[in-house]
A = this chain, B = another copy of it.
Amino acid sequence: MASKLIAIVAGVGPGTGASVARKFAATYPVVLLARSPSNYESLTNEINSAGGKAIGISTDISDSKSVQNAVETIKKEFGNDVGAAAAIFNASGGFLRKPFLELPEDVFSTSLDVSAKGGFIFSQATLPLLLRGVEQKSQHPPSLIFTGATASVKANANMASFATGKWALRALSQSLAREFGPQGVHVSHAIIDGVIDIPRTKELLKELGPEAKLNADGIANDYWWLHTQPKTNFTWEIDLRPAVEKW
């Protein structure tokens, strides 16, 4: 039965999402959700070639129909009674640092749609699978983990579009932690407070040395650690930043 337990990762780019997928793929079949297949194809190949099991499903996380289709695909692949050991919400609705009065409404709306509504849709779709993971006596308490940012706890000038979605997502995760903890699902929120070291950020913070950026595999380790906490010792929130970060 435990073989039916899967891990689902929404938002798979070259950073946290990919590292998390690799980490959880060492134990569970993983399902990768991203709008564009180009975001998960090489990763599913890599995991499957290495002896793991991964499928990717093209999904618009802010659209409940699209997410429901993804769940149907998951059930076809893993059975109608499939349970989840982990669901990780790593999607993010973009980022436009702009004077507020120059911020287009659709940028603001898209950020909210992905971070807040997307978080809602993903949670409603995966919690039934996580609760089935509880029934199926998963080794570790089934985990629902949300990726936050500096902007989850601080709303700076010119950051309104990003921060509103991220604060909303943090609220969602806190409410769910309180509701689903007693039901055996471990809901967590990680404040990623710094720049992640990925190809796109190569030139950033170079002057501070090689340890000035967050390591994505390190984040994945921390998510795995959260996943393995027993029911007596649940952490809702961690912050994560490089040692040299100013905060």
Contact = CB atoms under 8 A, between A and B. Distances in A.
A178 B156 contact: yes
B247 A242 contact: no
A172 B3 CA distance: 44
Contacts of A151: 171
A34 to B, nearest CB: 21
A11 to B, nearest CB: 18
A99 B179 CA distance: 8
Given A116-B164, A127-B100, A232 B213 contact: yes
Given A105-B120, A238-B237, A243 B171 contact: no
B237 A231 contact: no
B197 A175 contact: no
Nearest to A105: B64
A27 to B, nearest CB: 17
Contact of A124 (B64, B100, B141, B157): B100
A244 interface: yes
A115 to B, nearest CB: 9
Given A117-B112, A155-B171, A234 B241 contact: yes
Given A157-B179, A179-B157, A124 B109 contact: no
A233 B245 contact: no
Nearest to A215: B232
A132 interface: no
